[in-house]
Amino acid sequence: MSNEEKIIKRVLSGVQPTGGLHLGNYLGAIKNFVPLQDKYQSLFCVVDLHAITVWQEPEELAAKKCEVAAAFIASGIDPNRSIIFNQSQVSEHTQLAWILNCVARMGWLNRMTQFKDKAGKNKENVSVGLFSYPVLMASDIMLYKATHVPVGEDQKQHLELTRDIAQKFNNDFKKDIFPLPEPIIMENAARIMSLRDGTKKMSKSDTSDYSRIMLTDSKDEICKKIRKAKTNAMPLPKTIKELDTMPEAKNLLTIYSACLDEKFESIFNKYQGKNFSELKEDLTEVIINKISPIGEEMKKLMGDKVYLQKILENGSLKAKKIAINVLQEVHETTGLN
């Protein structure tokens, strides 16, 4: 590793093009990508190879990729400063993933809770890709020697696995090639929960549309979803401690504080002892102010697919320039060259 390379701090994160983007994706991840552009060389990836670990309609996948690119740009990621790219256009991701499959251990992957959640009782019938998915994620990160990875809390275990793979690779080949990437997890929005069940993560796969707010939802839809959000019959409690048994209330206050970038405590103090209707009314306005301009911009951008595809193509060329060198170094180190 050259001296110059040693001091490079690089951010990489990825978002799957599956089923639209929700408030959890935005507050837990995408919103936090934006300020990182000022501090680090940044790469943001539309991870279509991850998406196909479960069935995707081929005609819809291309549109969904553009939607993620549009969400990145509409949220404030600048394609001239950061690299916005498409995973499958940089074939080095899968090439490195194979090598890392030979470094990662079965026991490590068997512990991945997201696989257990996603496979459920259907373990024998899910794709092999779904099982080895965290190795491809490690490859996404290691291919750019990324040092920092902004993600929501649900990805923390995958990041720990990436660190284990990087460490084992360095140890096995007695060469300090890969940095151990640090997760960047925002404290105030690490895990945004479902609006219908405060103990479940807000997710694309929930069967109820009322469980999540999409970035492209209209103002009316946002109003309706917050109005119907599950809450308690009694007013909000007087102490923060009592929120431990009120996950839905805690979630609404979390969303409020994350949208405004204000401390949870100060939002709580404003609503302690008040009725939920008051909180919901104000929260609706806060979400609309934050999300609607992004949703509008996304819709505008999605009207110009050629522009979005160009952004992804250009970004993929830039990403490939970095990826080729790292893969070459891996080939030399492993004796594959």
Given the rule CB under 6 A, which residues bind ligand TYM? 12-16, 24-25, 28-29, 47, 50, 137, 140-141, 149, 151-152, 154-155, 189, 191-192, 201-202
User: CB 42 → ligand TYM: shortest distance, Å?
Assistant: 12
| 31 given a catalytic annotation | no
For the chain, how many residues are written?
A: 337
| 280 given a catalytic annotation | no
d(CA 213, CA 23): 6
Per-residue burial over 259-275, b = 16 or more CB atoms within 10 Å of its CB, e = otherwise: beeeebeebbeebbeee
| 118 given a catalytic annotation | yes
**Per the residue annotation, which of 156, 168, 175, 204 is the catalytic one?**
204
DSSP alpha helix (H) spans, the chain: 3-6, 23-25, 31-39, 48-51, 58-75, 92-101, 106-110, 113-119, 128-142, 156-172, 219-228, 247-260, 264-271, 276-302, 305-334
User: CB 80 → ligand TYM: shortest distance, Å?
Assistant: 22
**Per the residue annotation, which of 64, 65, 201, 250 is the catalytic one?**
201
Q: Decide whether 206 or 329 has the Cβ nearer to ligand TYM.
A: 206
Q: Decide whether 189 or 267 has the Cβ nearer to ligand TYM.
A: 189
Question: Which strands make up the sheet holding 10-15, listed edge to edge?
Answer: 83-86, 41-46, 10-15, 148-150, 182-184
The answer to whether 206 touches 200, Cβ cutoff 8 Å, is: yes
Q: Decide whether 97 or 237 has the Cβ nearer to ligand TYM.
A: 97
DSSP secondary structure letter of residue 212: -
Beta bridge partners of 183: 149
User: CB 163 → ligand TYM: shortest distance, Å?
Assistant: 12
Q: Decide whether 231 or 251 has the Cβ nearer to ligand TYM.
A: 251
d(CA 264, CA 266): 6
- Which of these, 8, 21, 144, 24, lies nearest to 73 by C-alpha position? 21
d(CA 109, CA 130): 11
User: CB 172 → ligand TYM: shortest distance, Å?
Assistant: 22
Q: Decide whether 10 or 201 has the Cβ nearer to ligand TYM.
A: 201
Tell me the residue number closest to ligand TYM, measured at CB. 28
Q: Decide whether 65 or 201 has the Cβ nearer to ligand TYM.
A: 201
Q: What does the radius of gyration of the chain's CA atoms come to, in whole angstroms?
A: 21
Beta bridge partners of 44: 13, 84
User: CB 112 → ligand TYM: shortest distance, Å?
Assistant: 11
User: CB 46 → ligand TYM: shortest distance, Å?
Assistant: 10
The residues that are catalytic are: 118, 201, 204
